[in-house]
Amino acid sequence: MTSHLETAHDSATPESGETPEVPRTPWSRFRRRFRTQRVGLISLGYLIFVVGIAVLAPLLATDSPNAQDLRAVLASPSGEHWLGTDDVGRDVFSRLLYASRTSLLAALLAVAVALGLGLVPGLVAGYARGRIDGIVMRIADALMAFPPLILAVALVGVLGPGLTNAMIAVGIVFSPRFLRILRGAAMSIREETYIEAARGLGCSSVSIIGRHVLPNVLSPLIVQISFAAGTAMLAEASLSFLGLGVQPPDASWGAMLGRSYRFYDRAPWVVLFPGIAIALTVLAFNLLGDALRDSLGREER
Amino acid sequence: MTRLVVRRLLSLIPLLLIVTFLTFSLILLVPGDPAVTLAGDNATPEQIDATRERLGLNDPMLVQYGKWVGDVLTGDLGTSLYRNEQVSETIIDRLPVTLSLTFLALVVALVVAIPAGLIAGTRAGRASDKVATVAASVGVATPSFLLALILLLFFAIWNPWLPATGYVALEDSPWEWFRHLVLPAITLGTAAAAEMTRQLRSSLVDVLKQDYIRTAWSKGLASRVVVGKHALKNAAAPMLTVAGLQVTVLLGGSIIVEQIFGLPGLGQLVISAVNSRDLPMIQGVVVASVIIAVLANLVVDLLYGYLNPKVRAQ
């Protein structure tokens, strides 16, 4: 009787046969691999730099972001206004610093909404399968059939313009991505022996999902969060460009662009600098995502 | 093949039902009483009642949805709340602009992605591959309005070679139609080109490692035949799927591009509808665009089945 229990216990611990040279924890394994990713490290450094700028904006700004100087409208870059001024004489450099707060926060908010909407249905659908899975996936497929920006614009249209509503809309549009990843991961994990063991020990489905499935989908999730943050930032910029996102006098990079676009032929810098800021930050999120994907993931390597 | 067509067409029915239901449900997201909100700020009680009546808000929800879907099926998308226009007629007026733009953007994407993906995929790890990969990453990350700005400055403002804004219908003058759409199509197509280059590159790299490619090389076939016939055909299938998904993205991206280049398409229509909270018009554009996207992906799926006998047999 005792020997029976022991064998069952043995087969439920897959980590017993580990080779000595592989670092013990997944975290140190990840760190060792990530350290060799030069592009990923540069991207991460750049993103930390942008976050630093956002936090320290009041200290770094050379001017108040909303101070208008109507004698220096659309002034070109100079010693006084490093990146020029916009159509009401506001300092582009200072506004750019403050706007990074809105842009980062917006991306964060949209990813949080998408994750919040996708998490539970994705895990449940992948774990439960059958009819629940069928229904959830039909709805996710339907959401993905919409042209993303048209759906986001329509959602903001009915909810009313504003940064929070815009980011809720973007989050809704992106939620199927998280849902699908979580579902896929949950589906493959549910076949593992340790899940079977947990079920055999009488754990409830809720505790199995929370304690065993969720920690194991973290890797693909982290990768997707990095990509989604970049795409969400682009989406926020698009909505704010159209005047549906953040409302004046507050600005995100996209809103700065949208407001000044009519002056692009006279003062290209009012459009160029926020545009470059968006492009670089989105690029950094995407490249970081690539590096994370290569460093996390397949543990057998 | 016939079985595949029938199966795919049947699978559209539940998809379209859910999609139309989600579009219809937009009204549930209107804050407060939709009739009060949508009638505008200074509406009289009579106007609010009239709006309520026009939107059919007095009926139970499923009855409202049933009526709405029935109307959509017969091509009736209702009347605009603010303009005395049939939503479906307005959409049909605007549709050629958006379809022209999306089509040309897809052409741009394919014209760039196929050679770029081929070069990168067959020379993986070499300098030309690195250049293509970096360019693709930058292309995905660049917002369309930044790219539009650069193109406009170079090709319309500093060198007045191409028009900066406006649209000429294809039937009025094919040449002017093309000239007005070149910059918008490049703007819209660049991100799609980058995405498809990445896809083609990675599937080519995978395919070129296969045994049948080694066999083809050892038979002494010319590289043109090995890459062009054996590898490209097999690598094209996943790229086709990405192309279908890109049509959906392009339709969305056209909103920004139409706004910048002053093209009177669906994108401009939905923006003006959103600014005036013209719900029937918003719902109409959303339904029209999702149906176009679904049909484009249907065509892609059928092409996929044509290219890949395995899919047909299932």
Cα–Cα distance, B15 to B301 (Å, whole number): 15
| Range 89-128 of B in CB contact (< 8 A) with A | none
Cα–Cα distance, A207 to A213 (Å, whole number): 9
In angstroms, how far is the first alpha carbon of chain B from the final one? 11
Binary contact (A159, B29; C-beta < 8 A): yes
* Helix (H) or strand (E) segment spanning residue A178: helix A163-189
Minimum-distance CB partner of A154 among B26, B142, B251:
B26
From B308's Cα to the closest Cα of chain A, the distance in A is 23
Binary contact (A157, B274; C-beta < 8 A): yes
Mean pLDDT by 10 residues, chain B (314 residues): 84 89 88 78 81 78 84 83 84 94 95 92 86 90 90 90 88 92 95 92 87 87 82 83 90 93 93 89 93 90 79 66
Best to test chain A binding among B256, B278, B285 (most A CBs inside 10 Å)? B256
CB A186 within 8 A of CB A126: yes
CB B175 within 8 A of CB B218: no
Which range marks the domain in which residue A281 is found?
Answer: 43-296
Judge if pTM exceeds 0.80. yes
A152 contacts on B by Cβ (under 8 Å):
252
Which two structure tokens, joined as six digits, stand for B256? Answer: 């920004």
Which two structure tokens, joined as six digits, stand for B81? Answer: 């709340």
Which two structure tokens, joined as six digits, stand for B199? Answer: 């896809």
Which two structure tokens, joined as six digits, stand for A286? Answer: 């995407």
Answer whether residue A18 is part of any domain. no
Q: What is the model's pLDDT at position B182?
A: 94
Which residues, at least 6 apart from B175, have a Cβ–Cβ distance to it below 8 Å? none
Answer whether residue A10 is part of any domain. no
B155 contacts on A by Cβ (under 8 Å):
none
Domain count, chain A: 1
Beta bridge partners of A91: A85
Answer whether residue B29 is part of any domain. no
Length of chain A: 301
Cα–Cα distance, B293 to B115 (Å, whole number): 26
Angle at B208 between CA B204 and CA B210, to 5 degrees: 125
Domain count, chain B: 1
Which range marks the domain in which residue B281 is found?
Answer: 87-313
Q: Over range A27-55, report the average pLDDT.
A: 88
Is B286 in CB contact (< 8 Å) with chain A?
yes
Q: What is the model's pLDDT at position A300?
A: 35
The pLDDT of residue A4 is above 70: no
Minimum-distance CB partner of B143 among A142, A158, A234:
A234
Minimum-distance CB partner of A156 among B149, B274, B290:
B274
Q: What is the model's pLDDT at position A14?
A: 47
Q: What is the model's pLDDT at position A298?
A: 53
| Range 196-255 of A in CB contact (< 8 A) with B | 230, 234, 237-238, 241-244, 254
CATH number of the domain at B116, please: 1.10.3720.10
Answer whether residue B217 is part of any domain. yes
Answer whether residue B64 is part of any domain. no
Provide the pLDDT confidence category of residue A57 given band limits of 50, 70 and 90.
confident
Answer whether residue A6 is part of any domain. no
From B29's Cα to the closest Cα of chain A, the distance in A is 6
Q: What is the model's pLDDT at position A7?
A: 42
Return the residue matching tokens 């392009």. Answer: B250
pLDDT digits (tens, 9 = 90+) for A88-105: 778 888 889 999 999 999
The pLDDT of residue A38 is above 60: yes
Q: Out of A111-115, A146-150, A211-215, B110-114, which region has the weakest mean confidence (pLDDT)?
A: A211-215
Q: What is the 3-state secondary structure (H, E, C) of chain B?
A: CHHHHHHHHHHHHHHHHHHHHHHHHHHHHCCCCHHHHHHCCCCCHHHHHHHHHHCCCCCCHHHHHHHHHHHHHCCCCCECCCCCCEHHHHHHHHHHHHHHHHHHHHHHHHHHHHHHHHHHHHCCCCHHHHHHHHHHHHHHHCCHHHHHHHHHHHHHHCCCCCCCCCCCCCCCCHHHHHHHHHHHHHHHHHHHHHHHHHHHHHHHHHHHCCHHHHHHHHCCCCHHHHHHHHHHHHHHHHHHHHHHHHHHHHHHHHHHHHHHHCCCCHHHHHHHHHHCCCHHHHHHHHHHHHHHHHHHHHHHHHHHHHHCHHHHHC
Answer whether residue A22 is part of any domain. no
Closest to A75 in 3D by CA, of A95, A91, A98: A91
Q: What is the model's pLDDT at position A2?
A: 42
Answer whether residue B166 is part of any domain. yes
Q: Which of A54-68, A194-208, A281-295, B66-80 has the highest mean pLDDT?
A: A281-295
Which residues, at least 6 apart from B41, have a Cβ–Cβ distance to it below 8 Å? none
Binary contact (A145, B152; C-beta < 8 A): no
CB B106 within 8 A of CB B192: yes
Q: Is A16 exposed, middle or buried (0-12, 13-18, 19+ CB in 10 A)?
A: exposed
| Range 126-165 of A in CB contact (< 8 A) with B | 138-139, 141-160
Answer whether residue A7 is part of any domain. no
CATH number of the domain at A129, please: 1.10.3720.10
CB B113 within 8 A of CB B193: yes
The pLDDT of residue A209 is above 60: yes
Which two structure tokens, joined as six digits, stand for B151? Answer: 């193109």
Q: What is the model's pLDDT at position B218?
A: 87
Query: Could you please report the per-residue DSSP string of A65-98?
Result: TT---TTSTTPPS-SSSTT-B-TT--BHHHHHHH
A148 contacts on B by Cβ (under 8 Å):
248-249, 252
Cα–Cα distance, B26 to B55 (Å, whole number): 13
Answer whether residue A220 is part of any domain. yes
From A37's Cα to the closest Cα of chain B, the distance in A is 15
Binary contact (A158, B26; C-beta < 8 A): yes
Grouping H, G, I as helix, E, B as strand and the rest as coil, residue A201 is coil
Answer whether residue A301 is part of any domain. no
| Range 130-169 of B in CB contact (< 8 A) with A | 137-138, 140-146, 149, 152-153, 157
B57 vs A11 pLDDT, higher one: B57
Residue A261 carries which DSSP code?
A: G
Answer whether residue A224 is part of any domain. yes
Q: Over range A209-213, report the average pLDDT.
A: 80
CA A4 to chain centre: 48
